[in-house]
Amino acid sequence: MDLIDRYLNAVAAQLPQSERADIIAELRDMILSRFEEKEEALGRPLTEAEQEDILRDVGHPLVVAARYGSGPQHIVGPELYPWWMFAVRAGLIAIVAITVLGAIVRVVVGDVEAGRAIGQAFHSIFNGAISLIGFATVGAYIIERQKEKPRFLREWRVKDLGLFEFGGNLNAEAVSRGLSEGDWSARPAGKGKARAASPTVRALGSAVGWGVILLWWVGWLPLTHTTPEDLGAVVHGVDFGRMLAEMHGLLYWPVIAFALVRIAFDLTRALHPKGVRFTALGDVGFGLAEAALFVWVWLYSPMSPVVFVPDVESFLDRVRAMFETGWWPLPSILMLCVAFGFLIAVSKIVGALGRLVTGRDRRLIDASN
């Protein structure tokens, strides 16, 4: 087998079967033409080394075969790269926030020493970052090979650009607001009040936040030392780790279903930002689900024995004892968290019912100003 055949066989192996014969025939004619031109210039047959030089000028078989491919010759192209980078940066911030929170909780409850918690946090952030970049790159690869680019690349509105100011305002307040409210808009410099984010921005921010939480919940975001059931320890004889592990098992599929429905809802309202009543109806449903969760935690969950109090008087007695003694036991802190979580869920329901009845959203008006 001469050099040309060996070279063309290597190229052919990278080509689709249906186009292989035509492409190889074209390449063979081109290479033979170059050989003949070189031989005429030299006045003698080419040596093997000279043939190698010409074939190297034609290109490596992998590169030559790629020229005949139907798709783009890159994973993330220049048009999509800024979006890819922004998504990775926002995701990394969410990963860091979740990991740091988990490390702080574990140190506070005495589950691990501070030095070990810091080391594990770095390890978890690194693993999470690798997975995040991998998921983002796979998504970009798929988008790049679509016949028609997604609408967010072709059709965008100036009203929704507040989301992208987030990149220049990375701070704890912005991260907290984004994860809790889906509001990733920037706070204008020199002003005490944050500009209202547009409905599309709030919807996309909420979808991203719930997406990260879902990946963490199912273990696909490998924050290996801050899994849900690991955020606990034995404190004063109470095995909070066991309680959280049992709750994670009981809530595993309900939380997955809730998160998937929430993400689908957020993406839908991002496409229809003026659907005030649709958004309000969804918020009522999610608020009821959240309120039901806190009622379950209070009355029936494995954590109920440490947070439940039978009446308002008993609740106030525990709160008063914390302030009078200056000792804040973990069961009382969890009791307050569940109670306030329930009140916040109820307030969301009330606000959503108001928007459902009136068909008006004050945040929508503020965002348009």
- On whether the CB atoms of residues 14 and 66 are closer than 8 A, the answer is yes
Could you list the mean pLDDT of each consecutive 10-residue stretch along the chain, which spans 369 residues? 84 86 90 90 88 89 82 75 81 79 68 71 80 84 75 64 52 48 46 55 78 79 51 65 85 94 89 84 94 94 91 89 82 90 93 88 56
> How would DSSP label each residue in 183-204?
--PPPPTT-SSPPPPPHHHHHH
What local confidence, expressed as pLDDT, does residue 297 receive? Answer: 94
The β-bridge partners of 235 are 238
CA distance 92 to 72: 27
The β-bridge partners of 169 are none
> How would DSSP label each residue in 260-272?
HHHHHHHHHHHHS
CA distances from residue 194 to 94, 168, 188 in whole angstroms, order as listed: 20, 15, 6
What 8-state DSSP symbol labels residue 239? E
Whole-prediction pTM value? 0.52
What local confidence, expressed as pLDDT, does residue 238 receive? Answer: 75
3-state secondary structure of 234: strand
Which among 73, 68, 52 is positioned nearest to 13, based on CA atoms?
68
Crossing angle of the two packed helices 3-12 and 48-58, in degrees rounded to 10: 20
Q: Which two tokens stand for residue 196?
A: 């209202």
What local confidence, expressed as pLDDT, does residue 262 receive? Answer: 93
CA distance 157 to 12: 47
What local confidence, expressed as pLDDT, does residue 304 receive? Answer: 93
CA distances from residue 189 to 86, 165, 176, 260, 364 in whole angstroms, order as listed: 21, 12, 18, 36, 22
What local confidence, expressed as pLDDT, does residue 127 receive? Answer: 79
